A and B are shown apart, each in its own frame.
Chain A
Amino acid sequence: MLTVAQASTNHSAPGKQDRWIPSSCSLCYGMCSILAHNVDGVVTKIEGNPASACGEGRLCAKGIAGIMTVYDPNRVNIPLKRTNPRKGIGVDPQWVEISWDEALDIAVARLKEVYEHDPAELFLQGTTTCASEMHCGLFTFGSAFGADAVWVGGGGIHCGSGAHQTGGLMHASWSLVPDFKMCNFAIYFGASKGHSAGHVANQNAQLAADARARGMKMVVVDPMCNFAAGKGNEWVPIRVGTDGALALAMANVLVNELELYDRPYLKRCTNAPYLVKEDGHYLRDAASHKPLVWDEAAGAARAFDAGPSDTLALLGEFVVQGVKVQPGFQRLKEHLRKYTPDYSSRITTISAADIRRLAREFGEAARIGSTIVIDGEEFPYRPAAAIFFRGSQGHKNSTWNCVSIDLLNQLVGSADNVGGALGFNPVCYGHPSTGRPFYAPEATPDGLMITGTWMHPHKPFPANDAAAPTSIGMREIFPWAMTSPFYGASDREVWWNKFNIQRRPKVMINFGANAIMSVGNKDVVADALKDTFIISFDIFKNEMTDFADIVLPDTSYLERLFPSPNYPFIFNHPGGMGTWSWPIRQPVVERDGQRRDFLRVMYEIGCRLGLRDKLNQAYNIHFELKDPHRLGPGVKYDFDEISDRVLKSYFGEERGLEWFKQNGVLNWPKRADEVYWRSRVPVRVPVYFEIFQATGEQVRQVARELGVEKDLNFQAYQPLPDWNPCPSHECTDPQYDLISFYYRDTIHTNSLTMENPWLDEAAQMNDYSYNIAVNAATAQAKGLKDGDVIWVESSYGRKVKGRLKTTQGLHPEGVAVAALAGHWSKDLPIARGKGVFYNELIEVDYNHLDPGNLNMDLCAKVKIYKA
């Protein structure tokens, strides 16, 4: 039995043990710092930890309600073995309880078979909710085992391939926020940063509220007027999935109508001046192979880094080496002309006048050319930010939507400059005592930015060269994909056969994801998972464990240790000026039953498979361990010791695990040149995407050799951004007249918290959480009224039922459903039957993926009618 750490102990009454224990939340990936009140062994309260920048003492509803998750009587407490060989939705697995020894014996035997036959047939699945443990466990085990088939079932394949890829490519970070303390004009595209959403929910809420109170204008482009739009100065209702078309029209107005763009920034911090040949590629120096630019002062071409940038040409046409070339920016400028406000108005339903006005307001707010002094140093001052996230990126045109929106920041020079659009902490120069952790973006030989750190082993850029796929995820031929939804796709066999891939996912290790619900249509995913042997770490039995063969009772986040819940800082650590905080997660209550930590069990399984030394090496890489704290070969480590080494490796001998258990969090001040690094770090980002074109040419070559060229969509592989329609925009059957989408509720995290009775109670008091929202006039025209039970049926014949909530705050073509609800498992008595299972409407196949990054398209063309 694990002993609860005694971080701060006082005895308020004789014989009473009363402790506030610092730890970290994990009811979403935000992982805010907490204090848990343990009285006589019972957690009686969870509050935010005021000593940490990660929340500064506040918690969202979910975090507070964690007590009812840890104490849920439906927790799994004993390992379970399936006795019914048949798998299907609604099929009882006929569980029998088994010992941990038997469970591990079975798991190891199945994994050994796969390891000896073909390690690439192991499929690893994790959940974003416990992102830190998930990243650690899946990476270390996958790396040691030789398995690269990994997906973050649901949250991950829905939310981030476009947004995080663009974040990494353009800001060296996972996500963006307005520089709330300094920003004067923020335009949100399908995002709700600062309105109780995900990463850094608590801190951003205060920063956003203070910013609005200070006078920051907040314009929210969204089909629905909910969390962010409901607080904005202006709600701009947009047709679902067309954000990129608006952004490109705004960019066109800035560049071609107003000529309002930051020339010095584009010359110095982007590849805008790189000379491009008629074939779309850079013109390169014959000897150094570096991209060339046109130096107007010299009247000649030179390598991009051969002198100062202020004399480089952004516009024009030149003949160099006998070749006709133009700066990439000239190409962009011409390309944008297509996106006239009238053209984009027809796509987005936003008036041309409003598009022009928004572009002007954004461009003027950016105060191009201004500087400001922060902490005694002068920085560019660009108080305008364009922010995107799940709403705008969850579409077939995922990358281009995000890139198009971010282009606005690049044009006015507000990327990572004071008041602008900040990546979450792309630069950290380390704790003053050790200089660790230390990371900053670096440049490729072409001068383009590589992130200093990342959440995955493979950084978002540079992409791998395209190759014939041999893995079950087939990412070899989709080099820009962060993850592959093909494991659960209805056309997976078609593609495996096209590429003559014999491998199949034989064994899956699942860490807490409920993929049956979280990916897409349940029947499609169930069909994909039914033949895989599934070892599932879970705190509850649910729809996913109904397909498992072995269920291992996991600890909850309140029962386990993890040394770095908020690192890498690019993920869930507050951005902007302030304080660096490094909290830990530690047990705040003793565990019940036979629950064991996922990470400790994975390490044990790895050791039993003979992978100990490889695992140790993977841990060294994952935690960037330095001598003398690196894990050596030939030693089996306890996770407490690994955690101690991690902390000492970053912060010195005196700050090991015991120090952190007592103190909870280590703080040190941020530097201005860490936060506003863009003008200091010599890297460029693309505004002309030769990198995508180059990948596309490789993909085309490989596809041609494999005879599949005509089967692939190449719209992701051009050098300039476009808005491309989703299948829902192309459906012409007039009976399907609406576009459905889901959005993340403030009260719930994905599907997990639906089982929490406190949150369920709050959600039942909210008109939107469990209902289907439709514009009131639209509903009226169809003879539907508030409270009616309706069907939402997709153009593919898939349908879900729910109660109608009519609203004024929704685009007339939209149908909106909150969160991931509608559980049917009898093992989740609180969650069962609550809300609407939106994902039933989602197709999982290549035609509904972004053809470049493989992000899923999450909208559907639907009709609604009374049930």
Chain B
Amino acid sequence: MARWGMVIDLFKCIGCYGCQLSCKAENATPPGVTLARVEVSEVGTYPNVTRVNLPLLCMQCNEPPCEAVCPTKATQIRPDGIVFVDEEMCIGCKYCMIACPYGARYFVEDQAAYFGEQGFTPYEKAGYPKHKTGVVMKCDYCRHRIDDGLAKGLTPGIDREATPACVTNCMAKARFFGDLDDPQSEVSRLVARAQAFQLNPEFGTDPNTHYLPAGRSVTPAEPEQPVVQRRE
């Protein structure tokens, strides 16, 4: 059984909000719900300053505090590590929202339309029935894509159709997805790098979502093609 994980390279991330929007479009989330989101901040003091774009989503923790507090066992961990909410079992008590240290959960009370009293768009009418109201929503690594993809013999993280929407859409190719139990997978190799880190490890939740730092120093190597230097 695979253990799905994601690596987000903050060095490559340009803060385009493509993950946030692709998640919204894929999952038809209602107003105010951003299962994937981006926080833009600056670090340093003028003029030695830079920006850090921090994409956030459910960390898919191996020790998820949200699961422990759920009184109805609506929040569950799949054998492949994905933490999800069984909407049929959720009673909307919001304990999990308080327990989650990453602010990754949203409670949807009523179905609201993006254009307010002007009503639901055809897209919303088609998409919102996918979710119940009065329950908590969270990112589940687009498990429908993973499951549908696996059923078709595809490989999550490699085949587009079987990979979370935010990963396939990342314009800077800053997001990577795959099996953390497979030491040969790209995500395993990235996580094995010394700089790779989990967000707030002090929370003790052991996320399957990992990051690579925003700053690093690289010197260009000679190109693969032969170069000839002539002196005048």
- What residues of chain A have their CB less than 8 Å away from a CB belonging to chain B? 39-40, 42-48, 50, 57-61, 64-65, 67-68, 71-74, 182, 184, 194-196, 201-202, 205-206, 208-210, 212-217, 225-227, 229-231, 235, 237, 263-264, 367-374, 378, 381, 383, 746-747, 757-759, 761-762, 765-768, 775-777, 807-810, 812, 829-830
* B10-63 residues at the A interface, CB under 8 angstroms: 11-12, 14-18, 20-22, 24-26, 28, 31-32, 34, 37-40, 42, 44-47, 49-53
B199 proximal to A (CB < 8 A): no
Q: Are B123 and A42 in contact (CB under 8 A)?
A: yes
A812 to B49, CA, bound (A): 13
Distance between Cα atoms of A40 and B225 in the complex (Å): 51
Q: Which residues of A contact B52 (CB under 8 A)?
A: 230
Closest to A768 in B: B40
A47 touches B17 (CB 8 A): no
CA distance A226 to B17 in the complex (A): 14
B119-135 residues with Cβ-Cβ distance < 8 A to A are 119, 121-123, 125-127
Assess the A777–B46 pair: CB atoms within 8 A.
yes
Chain B nearest CB from A356 CB (Å) reads 18
Q: Which B residues lie within 8 Å of A227 (CB)?
A: 14-15
Question: Are A381 and B227 in contact, CB atoms less than 8 angstroms apart?
Answer: yes
User: Are B227 and A746 within 8 A (Cβ)?
Assistant: no
24 pairs of residues in contact across A and B, judged by CB atoms under 8 Å: A43-B122, A58-B169, A60-B17, A65-B21, A71-B121, A71-B122, A72-B115, A73-B119, A195-B14, A206-B171, A208-B172, A210-B12, A226-B51, A372-B225, A372-B226, A758-B21, A765-B37, A766-B38, A766-B40, A807-B42, A808-B44, A808-B49, A809-B50, A812-B46
The distance in angstroms between the C-alpha atoms of A235 and B51, with both chains bound, is 11
Chain A residues positioned under 8 Å from B25 (CB to CB) = 45-46, 64-65, 67, 758
A303 CA to B169 CA in the complex, in Å? 55
Contacts of A367 in B (CB 8 A): 227, 229
Task: Tell me which of B14, B116, B121 has the highest count of chain A C-beta atoms within 10 A of its own C-beta.
Answer: B14
Top-8 shortest CB links A-B: A230-B51, A215-B220, A71-B121, A215-B218, A209-B12, A205-B171, A757-B114, A209-B172
Instruction: Name the one of B49, B114, B223 contacting A235, with C-beta atoms under 8 angstroms.
Output: B49
CB-based contact B225/A373 at 8 Å: yes
Nearest residue, chain A, Cβ from B228:
A371
User: Judging by beta carbons under 8 Å apart, are A370 and B122 in contact?
Assistant: no
B230 interface contact, C-beta 8 A: yes
Are B40 and A231 in touch, CB under 8 angstroms?
A: no
**B231–A369 contact, CB under 8 A?**
yes
Contact: B20 with A762, CB < 8 Å? yes
With contact pairs A42-B126, A226-B51, A757-B115 given, residues A205 and B227 touching in the complex (Cβ less than 8 Å): no
Q: Is A809 touching B49 in the complex (CB atoms < 8 A)?
A: yes
Q: What's the Cα separation between A808 and B127 when bound, in Å?
A: 42
Please determine whether A746 and B51 come into contact, CB atoms closer than 8 angstroms.
no
CA distance A243 to B11 in the complex (A): 27
Let me know if B228 and A370 touch, CB within 8 A.
Answer: yes
The listed residue (B32, B38, B46, B231) touching A808 by CB distance below 8 A is B46
Whether A45 contacts B26 in the complex (CB less than 8 A), given A202-B171, A230-B51, A235-B47, comes out as yes
In the complex, B168 has a CB within 8 A of chain A = yes
Q: How far is the CB of A313 from chain B (nearest CB, A)?
A: 15
**A237-B14 contact given A46-B25, A182-B223, A369-B231, CB 8 Å threshold:** no
Q: Determine if B14 and A225 form an interchain contact, defined as CB atoms under 8 angstroms apart.
A: no
Given contacts A64-B24, A206-B171, A227-B15, 6 further A-B contacts (CB under 8 A): A44-B28, A65-B24, A73-B121, A196-B16, A761-B34, A765-B34
Whether A369 pairs with B230 at a CB distance below 8 angstroms is yes
Residue of A nearest to B24 (CB): A758
Residues from chain A with a CB closer than 8 A to the CB of B172 are 205-206, 208-209
Contacts A67-B25, A374-B225 hold; do A184 and B220 have CB atoms under 8 A apart?
Answer: yes
B18-A71 in contact (CB<8A): no
User: Whose C-beta in chain A lies nearest to the C-beta of B219?
Assistant: A215
Cross-chain contact A59 with B46 (CB below 8 angstroms) = no
B170 within 8 A of A: yes
Give the chain A neighbours of B74 by CB distance below 8 A. none
Contact status A237-B46, CB under 8 Å: yes
Residue of B with least CB distance to A757: B114
Write the nearest CB–CB distance from B39 to chain A, whole angstroms: 8
| Complex alpha-carbon distance, A58 and B17, angstroms | 12
Q: Is B174 an interface residue (CB 8 A)?
A: yes
**Per-position contact with A for B99-121: 1 when CB-CB < 8 Å, else 0?**
00000000000000011101101
Complex Cα spacing A206 to B221, Å: 19
Contact B121 A68 (CB under 8 A): yes
Q: Are A61 and B231 in touch, CB under 8 angstroms?
A: no
| Min CB gap A626→B, angstroms | 37
The CA-CA distance from A25 to B40 in the complex, in Å, is 26
**Which one of A64, A194, A210, A371 has the greatest number of beta carbons of chain B within 10 Å?**
A64
With an 8 A cutoff between CB atoms, is B160 at the interface?
yes
Closest Cβ of chain B to A635, distance in Å, is 38
* Cross-chain contact B226 with A747 (CB below 8 angstroms): no
Q: Which residues of the partner chain A approach B9 to less than 8 Å between Cβ atoms?
A: 213
Q: Give chain B interface residues in 133-190, CB to chain A under 8 Å.
A: 160, 168-174
A71 touches B123 (CB 8 A): yes
With A and B bound together, what is the CA distance between A378 and B46 in angstroms? Answer: 45
How many Å lie between the Cα of A226 and that of B218 in the bound state? 22
Residues of A within 8 A of B18 (CB): 58-61, 64
| Any A CB within 8 A of the CB of B88 | no
Determine if B173 and A210 form an interchain contact, defined as CB atoms under 8 angstroms apart: yes
Pick from A39, A47, A761 the residue with the most CB of B within 10 Å.
Answer: A761
Residues of B within 8 A of A809 (CB): 42, 46, 49-51
CB neighbours of B24 from chain A (8 A): 64-65, 758
Whole-angstrom distance from the CB of A741 to the nearest CB of chain B? 17
B232 on the A face (CB < 8 A): yes
Residue of A68, A759, A808 near B42 (CB, 8 A) is A808
Tell me whether A209 and B174 are in contact (CB under 8 A). Answer: yes
- In the assembled complex, which residues on chain A have CB atoms less than 8 Å from the CB atom of B21? 61, 64-65, 758-759, 762
Q: A68-B114, A263-B232 are in contact. Are A59 and B219 (CB under 8 A)?
A: no
Query: Bound complex: CA of A499 vs CA of B122, how far in Å?
Result: 55
Of all chain A residues, the one with the shortest Cβ separation from B19 is: A61
How many Å lie between the Cα of A498 and that of B57 in the bound state?
63
| Among A61, A73, A214, contact of B118 (Cβ-Cβ < 8 Å) | A73
Residues A58 and B229 in contact, CB atoms below 8 Å apart: no
The closest CB in chain A to the CB of B11 belongs to: A213
- Least Cβ distance of B174 to chain A in Å? 6
Report the bound CA distance from A267 to B42 in whole Å: 46
Quick one: closest B residue to A777, CB to CB?
A: B46
Give A758 to B125 CA distance when docked, in angstroms: 16
The answer on a CB contact under 8 Å between A205 and B16 is yes
Bound-state CA distance A264–B232 (Å) is 9
Query: Cβ of A829: which chain B residues have Cβ within 8 Å of it?
Result: 115-116, 118
Q: B43 — nearest CB in chain A belongs to which residue?
A: A808
Q: How far is the CA of A44 from the CA of B128 in the complex (A)?
A: 11
Q: In the assembly, what is the distance between CA of A212 and CA of B24, in Å?
A: 29
In the complex, A57 Cα to B169 Cα: how many Å? 7
Interfacial chain A residues near B127, Cβ < 8 Å? 44
* Distance of B55 from chain A, by nearest CB (Å): 12
Q: How far is the CA of A673 from the CA of B33 in the complex (A)?
A: 50
Name the residue of chain A whose CB is nearest to the CB of B12. Answer: A209
In the docked arrangement, what's the CA distance between A252 and B31, Å?
55
A196: chain B residues at CB < 8 Å are: 14-16, 171
In the bound complex, residues from chain B placing their C-beta under 8 Å from that of A65 are: 21, 24-25
Q: Are B228 and A205 in contact (CB under 8 A)?
A: no
Given contacts A68-B123, A776-B46, A808-B44, contact A206 B173 (CB under 8 A): yes
In the bound complex, CA of A469 to CA of B22 (Å)? 51
Whether A372 and B223, one on each chain, are in contact in the complex, defined by CB atoms closer than 8 angstroms, is yes
Set of chain A residues within 8 Å of B174, measured between Cβ atoms: 209
A759 to B17, CA, bound (A): 9
Q: Assuming the A-B contacts A58-B171, A777-B46, A812-B46, are A215 and B221 also in contact, with contact meaning beta carbons closer than 8 angstroms in the complex?
A: yes
> A225 with B42: in contact, given A64-B25, A209-B173, A761-B31 (CB under 8 Å)?
yes
A202→B219 CA distance, assembly (Å):
25
Closest Cβ of chain A to B164, distance in Å, is 13
